[in-house]
């Protein structure tokens, strides 16, 4: 009674994403079916306290040897130090190439454990058990793994595909509301990129996603299918995959600007403001109607997400500092920026050559 998404890879390989309530307890049977003898569970302390023992019991019941490696929760754990500690613990647990690294947690754990699995013994199989909405609809699909350097986020990494993804949608019941909402911004994003019917559906069904109804499973499946499709069609990331960055040009800049505030924006909140701004900017450029831009902002606000620069805690700063922050993570050509804009809901496209002056005028409005 779970949903599944099949993800084909290069060279005839493929993996499945299983989606449903209670899948945490199926980890052992799935790991045994893959022929593993041992599993190293990489998680964070918060998730370990909630689901660690259940996963351990499931693996031991299936006859696997296992150990739990828990790092502190939060982005700071995507570090060289944690990476080294995780690898050494996995070696201590005698994890061999036929065994499994299990990433149990949000995107932080998925990226860290995935990178450890990619590099340990030149590649150990790994299984993703994403426990945040963001991880279930975004970071567990696509094979990107990595850690941060003092020079920036995700600068050290590797592509390493999981053997299987088990998205236990009941695990989201314990997620704090703010993280749930942040993940929801990415859910709505898929409708806005290329699936207007899904955005309509979200407007009608978003409450079920938050409350854990069957709509939650359905939404996770639709998002995984959308992301997997894009990734498969554009593995080298020079085309369509860029559309996944809808809302992220503005979003990342705002996240960066609030980085040192105690009440800083979490990623999905930056994305929510970014999505609303991308549509408002598109309307201003005459690409889509103001009514559609309003509909996007209204829906995100209804779900409790910020949608305006004024919503940034402590203020977003002036247009010039937002532009500078955007230029930092985008290819800037002769003072022009690349944006993902939209001709309407579900009609996004890559727009290179947007002038700084146009963006400044828009932000100052
Ligand atoms: P996260 O992993 O830090 O999790 C957020 C918080 O929720 C943490 O405090 C965690 O302990 C807690 N938590 C997790 N699951 C829980 C549960 N079921 N119940 C209660 N609490 C729970 O953050 P995230 O938003 O999941 O992921 C963000 C990371 O994902 C970033 O580092 C980002 O770079 C990365 N990311 C990677 C990709 C990719 O393609 N690899 C894509 C998008 C984002
Ligand atoms: Zn994102």
- Please give the structure tokens belonging to residue 59: 């693996």
Q: Name the band, by pLDDT with cuts 50, 70 and 90, for residue 12.
A: confident
In the prediction, which pLDDT does 147 show? 98
What's 15's DSSP letter? E
Please, are residues 173 and 131 in contact by the beta-carbon 8 Å criterion? no
In angstroms, the CA 101 to CA 97 distance is 10
The model's confidence at residue 123, banded by pLDDT at 50, 70 and 90, is very high
Task: Tell which one of 70, 108, 155, 165 to mutate to probe ligand 1, the residue whose CB is within 8 A of the most ligand atoms.
Answer: 108
The three-class DSSP label of residue 265 is coil
Rounded to the nearest 5°, which phi and psi values hold at 104?
A: -110, 100
> In this structure, which ligand is nearest to the CA of 50?
1
Q: Which of 172, 192, 169, 109 is nearest to 145 (CA)?
A: 109
DSSP H helices, 285-355, are 290-302, 319-329
ipTM of this predicted complex? 0.99
Pairing of strands 125-130, 144-149: unpaired
> How far apart are alpha carbons 19 and 190 in whole angstroms?
18
> Would the pLDDT of 352 be above 80?
yes
Can you give the pTM of this predicted structure? Answer: 0.96
Report the pLDDT value the prediction gives residue 337, as an integer from 0 to 100: 87
| Pocket probe mutation, ligand 1, options 55, 139, 152, 266, max atoms within 8 Å of Cβ | 139
Tokens found for residue 211? 């409350």
What is the structure's pLDDT at 92? 98
Q: Residue 52: which of 99, 93, 109 has the closest Cα?
A: 109
For residues 326, 237, 87, 122, the Cα torsion angle rounded to the nearest 10 degrees is -150
| 52 annotated ligand-binding residue | no
pLDDT at 313: 84
pLDDT of residue 117: 98
Q: Which of helix, strand or coil describes residue 126?
A: strand
**CATH class name, domain 177-364:** mainly alpha
| Residues whose beta carbon lies within 6 Å of some atom of ligand 1 | 44, 46-47, 50, 73-75, 78, 105-109, 111, 131-132, 134-135, 138-139, 142, 144, 154, 171-172, 174-175, 179, 267
Q: Where are the domains of the chain?
A: 3-174, 177-364
Question: Atom of ligand 1 at shortest distance to CA of 74?
Answer: 3
24 is in an annotated binding site: no
By percentage, how much of the chain surpasses pLDDT 90?
A: 81
Residue 257: per-residue pLDDT = 84
Q: 207 catalytic, yes or no?
A: no
**pLDDT per residue over 309-326, tens digit each?**
999 887 777 889 899 888
Give residue 149 CA to ligand 2 midpoint distance, Å: 19
The overall average pLDDT reported for the chain is 94
Pairwise CA distance, residues 145 & 357, whole Å: 36
User: Using an 8 Å Cβ cutoff, are 111 and 146 in contact?
Assistant: yes
- Contact between 70 and 41 (Cβ < 8 Å): no
Is 267 in the active site? yes
Residue 78 catalytic?
A: no
Provide CATH code, domain 3-174: 3.40.50.1970
Q: Are 204 and 254 in contact (CB under 8 A)?
A: no
pLDDT of residue 333: 60
Rounded Cα distance between 266 and 241, Å, is: 23
Tens of pLDDT, residue by residue over 84-100, are: 999 999 999 999 988 99
Which ligand is located closest to the Cα atom of residue 268? 2
248 is catalytic: yes
């Amino acid at each position: 009674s779970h949903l599944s998404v099949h993800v084909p890879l290069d060279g005839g390989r493929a993996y499945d994403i299983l989606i449903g309530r209670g899948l945490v307890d199926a980890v052992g049977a799935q790991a045994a079916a893959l022929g593993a003898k041992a599993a190293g569970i990489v998680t964070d302390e918060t998730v370990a306290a909630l689901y660690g023992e259940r996963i351990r019991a499931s693996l031991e019941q299936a006859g696997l040897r296992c150990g739990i490696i828990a790092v502190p929760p939060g982005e700071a754990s995507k570090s060289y130090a944690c990476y080294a500690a995780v690898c050494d613990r996995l070696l201590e647990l005698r994890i061999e190439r036929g065994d499994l690294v299990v990433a149990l947690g949000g995107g932080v754990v998925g990226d860290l454990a995935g990178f450890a699995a990619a590099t340990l013994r030149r590649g150990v199989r790994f299984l993703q058990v994403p426990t945040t909405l963001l991880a279930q609809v975004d970071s567990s699909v696509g094979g990107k793994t990595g850690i941060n350097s003092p020079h920036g986020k995700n600068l050290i990494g590797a592509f390493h595909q999981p053997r299987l993804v088990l998205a236990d949608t009941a695990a989201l019941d314990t997620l704090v509301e703010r993280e749930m909402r942040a993940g929801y911004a990415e859910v709505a994003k898929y409708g806005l990129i290329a699936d207007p019917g899904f955005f309509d559906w979200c407007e009608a069904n978003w409450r079920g996603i938050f409350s854990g109804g069957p709509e939650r499973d359905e939404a996770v499946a639709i998002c995984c299918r959308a992301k997997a499709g894009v990734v498969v069609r554009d593995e080298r990331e020079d085309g369509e995959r860029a559309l996944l960055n809808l809302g992220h040009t503005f979003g990342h800049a705002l996240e960066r600007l609030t980085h040192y505030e105690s009440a800083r924006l979490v990623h999905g909140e930056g994305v929510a403001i970014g999505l609303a701004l991308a549509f408002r900017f598109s309307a201003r450029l005459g690409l889509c109607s103001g009514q559609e831009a309003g509909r996007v902002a209204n829906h995100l606000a209804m779900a409790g997400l910020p949608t305006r620069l004024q919503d940034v805690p402590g203020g977003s700063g002036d247009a010039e500092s937002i532009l500078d922050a955007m230029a930092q993570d985008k290819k800037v050509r002769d003072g022009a920026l690349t944006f993902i804009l939209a001709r309407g809901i579900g009609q996004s496209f890559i727009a290179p050559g947007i002038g700084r002056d146009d963006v400044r005028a828009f932000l100052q409005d």
